[in-house]
Amino acid sequence: MVVPPYLLLSSTLLFPGAAAYSEYSCNGTTGSFTSGGAFAANLGRLVASLPANASSSPSLFASAAVGAAPDAAYGLALCRGDVADPGASAACLAGAFARLRRLCGADRDATFYAELCTARYSGGDFLARPGDNDNSPVVNALDVNGSTYYGWDARNATSRTLFLSLVGTLFGEMAMYAAYNSSAARMFASAAMYVNPQLPTVYGFVQCTPDLSRGQCWDCFQGLQDLNRRWYDGREGGRILGVRCSFRYEAYHIFAGMPEVRIGLQGDASSSSTPGNRGSNHKKVVIVALIVSITAFCAILVAGLLIIRTHRQRAEKRKKLQLQLQAQSRNSSATEEALKLWRIEESSTDFTLYDFAELAAATADFSDKNLLGRGGFGPVYKGKLPDGAEIAVKRLAAHSGQGLEEFKNEIQLIAKLQHTNPVRLVGCCVQEEEKLLVYEYMPNRSLNCFIFDRQRGPSMDWEKRRRIIEGIAQGLLYLHKHSRVRIIHRDLKASNILLDKDLNPKISDFGMARIFGSNMTEANTNRVVGTYMLRRASSR
């Protein structure tokens, strides 16, 4: 039988009085070996020594590594903590290893679970997984337990909900005792729990391999508890078996000797149903029931408060979002209406109102590979229209109230400019929250890409610099004196001077520009603008 190494769910059902239980896993994913090879020889020596070493040890446990990598064989042997006969322990382990060699053939990794023992060998060093540090955690039982098996009794308990709580209590008490109170040589605990005559006495045991620290054993048990909650369906018996830790419970006696943990019992479990003990047992059951009820009530109360709080937070978020959407809708509507009126007045220009889908297609859905840069208004993308014309698209971030004034400013100013040196505004787009400006594309980016670049800077000789300076001056002269409206830029800097393919300068970014009357020589502004002034203000 070949099974996955991480988890195998056994289909074997457990019945009272059934034949001895066994399950095995053959993991072929770690490779195979030849019968005459070095690994086969190392494996033979390993499985020959482990049964005797484990059965003669006070911990009933042994692990070893034989040979050197890549042919080293690693193994582990563990007998159940209540086995008193060393001969029975050795016989169980020897039989388990022998059956694995026969059933799994040349697979390098195999595990066998028998009623009284667990055996595993592998070509990988699974022994190192618990960690050399005693404080290193073993959080997930599936990570350290190898192939993990579970099986349940075919019979359902009479009261499944109550029985589920009782089994959880039984497991918790056993796990605590085995991890922190049991003998360090054998991290094993058995328990019996009596509730009332209507429910059977429940018996169980848990066990860790003694090479784990107590904290690691507890963590491994927590992994089993998670599996138990996931798989348990109200049956009267069941087990979860792993290499490092395991758990079993039944409605009949399943271990040798007296239980280390007694719940609802006085003395031996067999005396739990006698009349002399029922009064004490009844009190304990009442206490357990009260604790369970109070815990459940508190959990329901906390859950209700969390639900009410969540509903209030969602309502507040919805109200805030509605107010934001209403404000955006008013701004968008006003902008759209202004654009329509302006388009009628300026019908003789080449200005175009684009659809958002058209600009999204031109920029490959505003992909990062087309990103040219970022400004105060928003990111700028390179685009290509269906007719082959290259454009630059400024996009105001969606759901943002910033930049609306600058957006309208650029439309009102740049579209009316008719000069070589201001950048040409091709069109715009206003659709719901989206606001975009479309410019002619400047292949040489901006002036600062040259003057602040050590590699490209030397290519900017003084003749080219003179022509650029002259072009900027001509553009400013046009803005100040010869355009239809007098425009003061107020944010002139190297990054706002764009260069075409012939390095001709184009003044851009009119978001902070101010219109003056033709006869005005000075005016007061209502807000501080300009990159330099903003930096000075923020540094103070």
Read off the pLDDT of residues 49-71 as tens digits, 9 standing for 90 and up.
999 999 999 999 999 999 999 99
CB atoms within 10 A of CB 539: 6
CA angle 108, 110, 113 (to 5 degrees): 170
Query: How far is 70 from 226, CA to CA, in rounded Å?
Result: 36
Q: What is the pLDDT of residue 327?
A: 59
> Quick check: do 156-273 and 352-518+529-539 share a fold?
no
Residue 103 class from Cβ within 10 Å (0-12 exposed, 13-18 middle, 19+ buried)? Answer: middle
Q: Write down the pLDDT at residue 8.
A: 34
Three-state DSSP class for residue 522 = coil
Residue 339 confidence (pLDDT): 58
Least confident of 160-174, 231-245, 358-372, 513-527: 513-527
Q: What is the mean pLDDT of residues 363-374?
A: 89
pLDDT, residue 158, reads 58
Tell me the C-alpha distance between 290 and 292, whole Å: 5
| Whole-number Å distance between alpha carbons of 178 and 244 | 13
> In percent, how much of the chain has pLDDT > 90?
30
Burial of 152 (0-12, 13-18, 19+ CB in 10 A): buried
Contact at 8 Å (CB) between 531 and 493?
Answer: yes
The size of the chain, in residues, is 540
Helix (H), strand (E) counts: the chain: 11, 21
Banded model confidence at residue 299, pLDDT cuts 50, 70, 90: confident
Task: Parse the chain into domains and list their residue ranges.
Answer: 1-128, 156-273, 352-518+529-539
| Alpha carbon distance 404, 425 (integer Å) | 17
Task: Kindly state the average pLDDT of the residues 307-311.
Answer: 86
Q: What is the pLDDT of residue 276?
A: 41
Give residues with Cβ within 8 angstroms of 35, minimum separation 6.
Answer: 106
3-class secondary structure, 367:
coil
Q: Looking at residues 8-18, what average pLDDT do you find?
A: 36
Cα-based distances in Å from 148 to 69, 122, 401, 501? 27, 16, 57, 69
Which residue, among 360, 433, 409, has the nearest Cα to 512 in the 3D structure?
A: 409
Confidence of residue 318 (pLDDT cuts 50, 70, 90): confident
- Measure the CA–CA gap between 89 and 20, rounded to whole angstroms: 14
Give pLDDT tens digits for 432-465. Answer: 778 888 888 988 888 888 887 777 878 888 888 8
For domain 156-273, the question of CATH label 3.30.430.20 is answered with yes
- Give the pair of three-digit tokens for residue 301: 């109360």
pLDDT band at 282 (very low <50, low <70, confident <90, very high): low
Give the pLDDT mean for 480-484.
77
Q: pLDDT digits over 127-138, tens only?
A: 875 544 444 444
Catalytic residue annotation: 491
pLDDT in tens, 369-411: 999 887 666 789 999 999 999 999 988 765 444 455 666 666 7
Class of domain 352-518+529-539: mainly alpha
Tokens of 489: 């830029």
Please list the helix, strand and coil fractions of the chain in percent, rounded to the nearest 5, in that order.
40, 20, 35
* Residues whose CB is less than 8 angstroms from the CB of residue 36 and which lie 6 or more positions away in sequence, other chains included: none
Domain 1-128 listed as CATH 3.30.430.20: yes
Q: Greater confidence, 147 or 534?
A: 147
| Token representation of residue 330 | 């008013």
Average pLDDT, the chain: 77
C-alpha neighbours within 13 Å on the C-beta side of residue 392: 25
Q: Which residue has the tokens 């229209």?
A: 385
Decide which of 312 and 198 is more confident.
Answer: 312
Q: Of 220, 169, 185, 213, which is closest to residue 61 (Cα–Cα)?
A: 185
Question: Which tokens hold the place of 421?
Answer: 């040196």
